[in-house]
Amino acid sequence: MDTSNFSELWKGQKAEQPAAADLLIKINKFKKRNRLRIVLTNLTLIITSVLMILIWYFYQPELVTTKIGIVLVILAMGIFVYSLNQSLGALKDTNAASSNQEYLKNLLTIKEKQHYMQTTMLNLYFILLSLGIALYMIEPVSQMSFVWAVFAYGMTALWLLFNWFYIRPRQMKNQQAKLNEMITTVENIQSQLKQD
Amino acid sequence: MKFEDIYQEYWQKIFRLCMGYVNDYALAQDLAQETFIIVWQQLPNFRNEANISTWVFRIASNNCLRQIEKQKRFQKVEMPQQLMEENTESIEPKIQFLYKCISELNEIDRIIISLELENIKQSEIATIVGLSEANIRVKIHRIKEKLTQKFKENGHK
């Protein structure tokens, strides 16, 4: 087969072209959805923080531990939303128009960073949250009878331990497995770009 | 440069690039649309000194390469056999075979040969992919040999 025929054959493949207007509608939908997602995640943070501040304001905690607890929980929320926004932001391509070679290099860097961020951020989130809750509880628990105090702390500790030893590793394993696979594939494609 | 003009001029070309990459009509349509969404988003960043064709093809091929992120999701939803046959029936078998062969190459080779068959200059392909021109020439030669071989084996002349 003459290789110039390949080009003719290649161009023989025709495809339906959606009207430009339809595509623009899609683009707008896409934009709206993206905006909604960002608004929603940030709203979660704001609502939680406002709630905590309201507690602070109306409940007037006396112990400093309660206040520290509130701050830590808000911080944990903040970290959670921040890392969520980060991973959403990574989807936006700033280097969409660079060469394949550079693009893959960049993609790999982003993925490796995500790998690190996920682990660190998730750990930090859980630690701050646990610490915050434990501190926050000191004040209300101190007004309970001993049995109830033990019960309240026991249940909370149980829930936190369950999170730390079951939910956290599971979440991490899931994320990491996906990322690792992705990284291997990108590395594999990159090896095709070695000059030979 | 207006988006609509780019869209008119490049749709078919970009679709073929995506089709060569995945050899799946519906998926290629999606990929082509995604490409133009990115083109639309990035258009304000486009500097006129760059070649618009290089720019569009870079976006398209990068988007194909990103496909690996989504592949898992798509693989699970396999089309029923019957529907697949109906879909491809109308296309000339030789064209179909060419696209099948190309989609079986490794990822970078798929992009290179697609651009070559689209009659893009080899120097431009080199800029799109990020390899030297000499390297691209060698690769194209090898890929074409491979394709010719496959066509021979399959009895297409």
Question: Pseudo-torsion of CA B121, B28, A21, A39, nearest 10°?
Answer: -110
In this complex, do B117 and A10 lie within 8 Å of one another by their Cβ atoms? Answer: yes
CA distance B104 to B20: 9
Identity (one letter) of the amino acid at B88? T
The number of beta carbons lying within 10 Å of the beta carbon of residue A64 is 11
Tens digit of each residue's pLDDT (9 = 90 or more) over B40-54: 888 988 887 778 999
Q: Which domains does chain B have, with CATH numbers?
A: 3-153 (1.20.140)
Tens digit of each residue's pLDDT (9 = 90 or more) over A6-41: 998 999 888 888 888 888 887 788 778 777 877 887
In this complex, do A1 and B157 lie within 8 Å of one another by their Cβ atoms? Answer: yes
Tens digit of each residue's pLDDT (9 = 90 or more) over A113-151: 878 877 888 889 889 999 999 998 888 888 889 999 999
B84 touches chain A (CB under 8 A): no
Total beta-carbon pairs less than 8 A apart between chain A and chain B: 133
Q: Is the ipTM of this complex over 0.90?
A: no
CA distance A131 to A129: 6
Unique residue bearing structure tokens 């994320």: A175
In this complex, do A1 and B117 lie within 8 Å of one another by their Cβ atoms? Answer: no
CA distance B85 to B91: 11
Residue range A88-106: average pLDDT?
78
Portion 153-182 of A in contact with B at CB < 8 A: 182
CB contacts of A13 in chain B (<8 Å) are 15-16, 19, 91, 95, 99
In this complex, do B118 and A10 lie within 8 Å of one another by their Cβ atoms? Answer: yes
A192 touches chain B (CB under 8 A): yes
Asked if B35 contacts B14 with a C-beta cutoff of 8 angstroms, the reply is yes
A145 touches chain B (CB under 8 A): no
CA distance B105 to B111: 9
Comparing A42-51, A64-73, A95-104, B133-142, the range with the smallest average pLDDT is A42-51
Which tokens hold the place of A166? 């079951």
Which tokens hold the place of A31? 């934009």
